[in-house]
Amino acid sequence: MKILMFGWEFPPHISGGLGTACYGITKSISQHGHDIIFVMPKASGEEDKRYAEIISADKINVLGNSEAYDEVYKKMNIITINSSILPYVSTTEYLRQKLKIESQIQDSWSKRYVFNGAYGSSLMDDVANYTKVAHQIACDYEGKYDVIHAHDWLTYNAGVIAKQISGKPLIVHVHATDFDRGGNGKSDIYKIEKFGMDNADKIVAVSKLTKKIIIEKYNQPADKIEVVHNGLTPSPKKTRPEKKHFNGKIVTFLGRITQQKGPTYFVEVAKLVAKHNPDTHFVMAGNGDMLPLIIKLVASAGLSHRFHFTGFLTGNEVDAMLAMSDVYIMPSVSEPFGISPLEAINSSIPVIISKQSGVAEVLKNALKVDYWDIEATADKVNAILRYPILKNFLVKHSQREVNKMTWEEPTQKLIDIYNFLIKSNI
C-alpha cells in the first residue's frame, strides 16, 4: 500500500505534538511494510527519511499559472498542425533545440513557492500556496498512491484537491479544532476544517472528546468518524541528573503559552503552592502569544525569583528539563489529546492533567482535575511534593500504562481504515 500524506511538521524541527504524532505514525506504518510520501511545506534536510519519502513543497515547480496563461492566450488565435519539424537543422540539433524550448516553456509557466515554515502572519498564504503545490504533486505522483491522509486543517485543502485529481479516498486527521483554540465557528480556519471534513471519506479524531466536537460543531455523522488515540515512540527511560542548578523542587509547564494550554491557571496554582512549599521553583517551557502577559502576572504575584521561562525547547532540551522536574502539570482548557504527559511519565515524573483532555481518556494513573479548579490542582501538587510514597506510586503505575501505549495499536487502526477505503473505492 502507498499513502500520500500531507503534514505541516516533521522532526527534528517541530513546534508541538503534531510533528511528533506524524513521525510516530509514519515510522510505524512503514515498519508494517507500507510506503509513505510525506509532503511538508519546508523541509530542513535533517528529517529522518528511513520511513517516508520526504517532499519539501518549496522545492516543487508548480506548472501552469492559469491566470497568466489565459491573459496571454486569449488574445491569440492558434492553429496547430500535426508536425514538430524544424527546418534546416540536423537531427542532433533538432533534439537540442526541442529540449531547450521545452525547458523555457516550463520555466515560463512554472513557479516555486516560498514557505515561512512557521505559524506567523503569512500562515494563510502558506496554506493557499501549499494547496497549489499539492495539486502539482497529486498530478506528478498520480497512480503512485492508493490513499490520501491529511493532518490537521493546514493540509485539508491539499488533501481535497489531491482526491479530486486522483479519485483516491481521503482521510482527514483531526489533531485539534478551531474550538480547541478558542474559535467560535466563524473563522477561516473553521471553514477550511468544515470543507475538509465534508469532503473526506473518513475522519480520524485523536480522542472521544474531539469526536464529540466534530459531531456537534461540524455536523458530521458519527459513523464517518474513527477515534484513534495517539501513541508514544518508545525510548529509554530518562535518568535524573546528579544535581540541579538550585535547591528545591521543580514544577513544570511544557507547551505553547496560549489560551488553549491554560498558562494563567498554572500561575495561579504556583501562587498557592508557593505558600506551602517556599523552596519550590516553577518552570514554563515554551513560547506563545500570551508570554508577555504571563511574565507580568508572575511579577505582580511576587514570584519572579522562583519562576523560570525557558523559551521553546527542542527534543534533547525537553528531555533535560523533564529530568530535572518533580511534577508536571497540563492545565489545558481544551486539549484534543496531549502527548507531553506521556513524555513526562516516561521521564519518571508524576503528572496532573486536565479532565478536558483526550489523554485523560487513556491515562488511569494520572491525577486529573478540572482546568479551572486551581485549589484542587495545588492540593495535588503539594501532596506529591510532600509524600514521596504517593509520587512513587503514581510513577510506577503510570509507566506501566505508558509502556503499552506504543504506536502499534493506532497504526493498525489506521491501516484497517486505509484498507476499507481502498476496497470501497474499487
| pLDDT tens for each residue of 26-77 | 999 999 999 999 999 999 888 989 999 999 999 998 886 545 444 444 555 5
Strands 202-205 and 225-227: parallel
Among 407, 417, 415, CA closest to 22: 407
The answer to which of 76-85, 89-98, 152-161 has the lowest mean pLDDT is 76-85
Confidence (pLDDT) at 73: 43
3-class SS at 226? Answer: strand
- Cβ neighbors of 163 (< 8 A, separation 6 or more) are 148, 169, 170, 199
- pLDDT band at 421, cuts 50/70/90? very high
Confidence (pLDDT) at 18: 87
Confidence (pLDDT) at 393: 94
3-class SS at 62? Answer: strand
Confidence (pLDDT) at 74: 52
Looking at every residue in the chain, the average pLDDT score rounds to: 87
Q: Mean of the pLDDT values across residues 335-351?
A: 90
Q: Kindly tell me if the per-residue pLDDT of 89 is higher than 60.
A: no
Confidence (pLDDT) at 129: 92
Q: Name the CA radius of gyration of the chain, rounded.
A: 25
Q: Kindly tell me if the per-residue pLDDT of 116 is higher than 90.
A: no
Q: What are the cell numbers at 217? A: 460543531
DSSP 154: G
- The residue among 243 and 222 whose pLDDT is bigger is 222
Number of other CB atoms surrounding residue 295 within 10 Å: 16
pLDDT tens figures, 303-334: 999 999 999 888 788 888 998 999 999 999 98
Confidence (pLDDT) at 241: 55
- pLDDT band at 95, cuts 50/70/90? low
- pLDDT band at 181, cuts 50/70/90? confident
Q: Kindly tell me if the per-residue pLDDT of 92 is higher than 80.
A: no
Q: Which CATH number is 250-404 given?
A: 3.40.50.2000
Domain ranges of the chain: 2-60+113-231+408-425, 66-111, 250-404
Specify the fold of 2-60+113-231+408-425. Answer: Rossmann fold (3.40.50)
Q: Mean of the pLDDT values across residues 181-207?
A: 93
Please work out, in degrees rounded to the nearest 5, the angle formed at the alpha carbon of residue 132 by the alpha carbons of 126 and 137. 115
Q: Mean of the pLDDT values across residues 388-410?
A: 92
3-class SS at 40? Answer: strand
Q: Kindly tell me if the per-residue pLDDT of 121 is higher than 80.
A: no
Longest Cα–Cα distance of the chain, Å, equals 95
Confidence (pLDDT) at 68: 45
Confidence (pLDDT) at 17: 81
Q: Kindly tell me if the per-residue pLDDT of 107 is higher than 70.
A: no
Confidence (pLDDT) at 87: 53
**Cα 251–chain centre separation:** 26
Confidence (pLDDT) at 274: 94
- Cβ neighbors of 104 (< 8 A, separation 6 or more) are none
Same fold, 2-60+113-231+408-425 and 250-404: yes
Q: Kindly tell me if the per-residue pLDDT of 134 is higher than 90.
A: yes
pTM of the model: 0.82
3-class SS at 288? Answer: coil
pLDDT tens figures, 252-262: 999 889 998 99
Looking at 219-266, which runs of residues are DSSP E strands? Answer: 225-227, 250-254
